[in-house]
Amino acid sequence: MKTSKIIYIALILLLAGGAFFLFANGNEDEVNRSETTGESSAPLEAAIVFDENAYPPNGWTVSMAEAAAEAEASGKMILLNFTGSDWCGWCQKLEQQVFSQPEFLSWANDNLVMVFIDSPSSIVLDDPLVEQNQLLQQALGIQGFPTVFLLGSDLTPLLRTGYMDGLPADYIHHLETDRLGLDEESEANFRNGFSGFIEEQLKPLNI
C-alpha cells in the first residue's frame, strides 16, 4: 500500500480519537455479534445467495465516493454496511431480517444512501473495489462483521452499530435516535479527514 494511503488511514484514526468506536446505546450484547473469520457461527434456515447479475442487493451502491456526492446533494444520511455477504451468518441475518425488508427499504429510500462494503469468500470483485473496501476497513478500524456506520450527509459520524435482534421498525428507530455524542471539534476533525480521504484515495479508483 502506498505511503500516502497509510498516512490518510492513520490520520482518520487519529482524528476520530477512538471515540468513533464507542456505542451510543447500551445494547453492546447485540451490536457486538460479529465475525472475523470465514466460518459462519449463525447459520440461517435458508442462506442468502446473491445473484451476481443483481449485485449489490437492491437499494445499495458499492462506491463510497458516489455515495458521498449523492448524500451531499440530497441531504440523506450515509449507511456503511461492512459485511461478508456469502459467509458471515450475522451479516446474512441482518440482511434477511432488516435490510431486505420492504419497511426498511421504503424508509431507506427517503433517508439513506447505502454503501455495501463487502468482503466475500466466493464472489469475485473487481480489484479497485477490493482496494476501496480494504482501505475503508482499515480507516474505520473494522474488526468484525457486520459493522454498520451511520454518517450525516456532510460525513459527520453519527453511529457505529451492527446486528440487532428485532423488527425493521426497531432498527429504523435505532438509526434515527441513537448517536455517538461526539463534541463539535471531534466531528469537524473527522469530517475533514474523511472527506480528504475520499477525495484523494477513493475517487481515483473510479468505482
**DSSP string of the chain, one letter each residue:** --HHHHHHHHHHHHHHTTGGGS-SSS-HHHHT--B-SSS-SS--SS-----GGG-S-TTEES-HHHHHHHHHHH--EEEEEEE-TTT-HHHHHHIIIIITSHHHHHHHHHHEEEEEEE--SSSPPPHHHHHHHHHHHHHTT--SBSEEEEE-TT--EEEEE---SS-HHHHHHHHHH------HHHHHHHHHHHHHHIIIIIGGG--
User: Among candidates 96, 98, 93, which has minimal Cα distance to 41?
Assistant: 93
Instruction: Note down pLDDT in tens along the chain; length 207 residues.
Output: 565 665 556 666 555 554 444 433 333 444 546 677 555 555 444 455 555 568 999 999 999 999 999 999 999 999 999 999 999 999 999 999 999 999 999 999 999 999 999 999 999 999 999 999 999 999 999 999 999 999 999 999 999 999 999 999 999 999 999 999 899 999 999 999 999 999 999 999 999
100 by Cβ neighbours in 10 Å (0-12 / 13-18 / 19+) ranks as: middle
User: Among candidates 79, 164, 87, 163, which has minimal Cα distance to 119?
Assistant: 87
State how far Cα 70 lies from the chain centre: 16
The confidence score (pLDDT) of residue 54 equals 80
pLDDT digits (tens, 9 = 90+) for 93-112: 999 999 999 999 999 999 99
How wide is the angle at C-alpha 85 spanned by C-alphas 150 and 43, nearest 5°? 110
The confidence score (pLDDT) of residue 21 equals 45
The confidence score (pLDDT) of residue 191 equals 94
From residue 90, give the alpha-carbon distance in Å to each of 73, 184, 189.
33, 33, 32
Yes or no: say if 126 and 162 are a contact pair by the CB < 8 Å rule.
no
The confidence score (pLDDT) of residue 167 equals 98
| Annotated domain spans of the chain | 3-205
User: Among candidates 163, 137, 194, 158, which has minimal Cα distance to 77?
Assistant: 158
Cα separation of 158 and 24, whole Å? 9
Grid coordinates representing 35? 465475525
The confidence score (pLDDT) of residue 94 equals 98
Homologous superfamily, domain 3-205:
Glutaredoxin (3.40.30.10)
The confidence score (pLDDT) of residue 35 equals 75
Cα separation of 96 and 42, whole Å? 12
